[in-house]
Amino acid sequence: MNELIIELSEINPREFFGQQNANIELLKRYFPKLKIIARGNKIKAYGDEELLEEFDRRFTMLTEHFAKYNKLDENVIERVLTSQSKSDYETSKESGDTIVHGVSGKLIKPQTANQRKLVELSKKHDMVFAIGPAGTGKTYVSVALAVQALKEKSVKRIILTRPAVEAGENLGFLPGDMKEKLDPYMQPLYDALRDMIPHEKLESFIEKGIIQIAPMAFMRGRTLDNAYVILDEAQNTTHAQMKMFLTRMGRSAKFVITGDPGQIDLPRRVTSGLKEALLILKNVKGVGMIYLDDKDVVRHPLVKKVIAAYKDIENRN
C-alpha cells in the first residue's frame, strides 16, 4: 500500500482540521478509498498511487486557500474538491476593496474615503507619506498593504520600524535587554500583524527574518531591496534620521511613512524630520502624500471629540 505524508508548516492544524476534525471527516467522505489519518501537524494517507496524487493536489489547493483567507469551512472544501481549476472555487465576493483576509477570515478593508485614497496612492507610488492624527488607521492600513504585497509575492519581506523616542517615558529604566525594552514600544505594529497573520505563521516569519520589526538605528548602512518598508511615528525622526531612512530604498521596494505632526516627542528646538520631508519632497515625482483627519478616526467615537477639543485649544493659542 502506498503512503503519502503531508506536514502542515506555518498553519495552525486545529483551525485547518476544524472542530473535532470536521474538515478531515469531509475529506474522508470525498476520498472513501483512501485511509486518511490526521495527527499533530501531519496528514497521512494510504491507498492507490493515482488517488494519492489527486488527494495531494486537492489538499495543496486547500492549504493555499487557507493561507490566503485564513479560513476553511464546509462550503469552501466542497468547492475546492469538486472544482476543475482555482478560478472555479474563488468567488468574486472575496475581492472587492478588501486589502487582505485576516485571522479567521476577517476582512481588512479601508473604512473611510481617505483610507481608500491611501490604498490607491500606494498602488501608484513607491514612496507614500500618510499623515494624520491618532486613530485614523494610517498604520493599520499600511501594515495591511504590506501583508498583501508579501502574500502576492511582490516583495520578499516586510520591515517595520519606528524611531526609538520615548513619549514621556525612559526606556533605560525598563527591565530586560534591548529587545525586551523595545517590544512594548513596537506593540501597535505587532497588534496589526496579529490581526492579519495567524500566530504560528507570524512567529515563523519573524524567526526567518521575512518580517522584521526594529528601531530606526537598525536601518543604518542597509539597502532595502524587494521589501515593503513602513516607518511609523515618523514625526519623531530628526533631519539626519529621516534622510538616512529615505536613502535606504533599494530595488523593487515600497516605502510608507506614517506620522502625526501634532504628537512630536522630540526635544525642544529639534526639527521634526517628517515636517521637513513633507516640505522638501512635496513636488518630487513618484512621492505620494495623503492627509487624514478626524473624519477618518475609526476608534471609539469619543476619540474624534478628544481630537477636536485639543485642536480647538491649540487654535486659540
CA–CA gap between residue 297 and residue 290 (Å, rounded): 15
Beta-carbon contacts of 289 under 8 Å, excluding residues fewer than 6 positions away, are 121, 128, 129, 131, 278, 281, 282
- Of the candidates 237, 249, 243, 240, the one whose C-alpha atom is nearest the C-alpha of residue 274 is 237
The C-alpha cell 496528514 sits at 43
pLDDT recorded at residue 87: 53
pLDDT recorded at residue 167: 42
pLDDT recorded at residue 45: 92
pLDDT recorded at residue 86: 57
- Report all structural domains of the chain as residue ranges with CATH numbers, in order of start: 2-92 (3.30.1370.10), 100-316 (3.40.50.300)
pLDDT recorded at residue 93: 44
- Of the candidates 211, 208, 157, 209, the one whose C-alpha atom is nearest the C-alpha of residue 186 is 211
Beta-carbon contacts of 216 under 8 Å, excluding residues fewer than 6 positions away, are 161, 162, 163, 164, 231, 237, 241, 244, 245
pLDDT recorded at residue 107: 84
Beta-carbon contacts of 304 under 8 Å, excluding residues fewer than 6 positions away, are 135, 294, 295, 297
The C-alpha cell 511609523 sits at 232
The pairing of strands 2-7 and 42-47 is antiparallel
User: What cell was used for 212?
Assistant: 522584521
The C-alpha cell 491507498 sits at 47
List per-block mean pLDDT (blocks of 10 residues) for the chain, which spans 317 residues. Answer: 85 84 89 91 91 90 81 79 62 63 83 90 95 90 94 93 61 50 73 89 90 83 91 93 93 94 87 94 94 80 78 77
pLDDT recorded at residue 284: 94
User: Is 302 exposed, middle or buried (CB count within 10 Å of its CB: 0-12, 13-18, 19+)?
Assistant: exposed
